[in-house]
């Protein structure tokens, strides 16, 4: 079984990235094994 931590969701950045508050710090979390469209230009995926 994996490790479990509690965090507060601050912002949904795009389909596979969120920002959370963890131990008083803002952290970016990238969700693995998800292939979604991007919300910011600069990559090779469509921006929606």
Please give the tally of structural domains in the chain. Answer: 1
Q: Which of 44, 28, 45, 27 is nearest to 36 (CA)?
A: 45
Range of the domain at 18: 1-34
Q: Is the pLDDT of residue 47 over 70?
A: no
CA–CA dist 39, 46 (Å, integer): 8
Tell which wins on pLDDT, 38 or 19: 19
pLDDT the model gives residue 6: 93
> Looking at the domain assignment, is residue 26 inside a domain?
yes
In this structure, is residue 1 part of a structural domain?
yes
The answer, yes or no, to whether residue 4 has pLDDT greater than 80, is: yes
Residue 48 maps to a domain: no
Task: Tell me what pLDDT residue 42 has.
Answer: 67
- Ranking 2-6, 14-18, 29-33, 36-40 by mean pLDDT, the lowest is 36-40
Residues 10-35 pLDDT 10s: 999 888 889 999 999 999 999 888 77
End-to-end CA distance of the chain: 36
């Amino acid at each position: 079984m994996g490790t479990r931590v509690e965090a507060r969701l601050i912002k949904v950045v795009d389909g596979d990235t969120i920002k959370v508050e963890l131990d008083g710090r803002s952290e970016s979390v990238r969700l693995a094994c998800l292939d979604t469209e991007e919300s910011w230009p600069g990559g090779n995926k469509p921006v929606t």
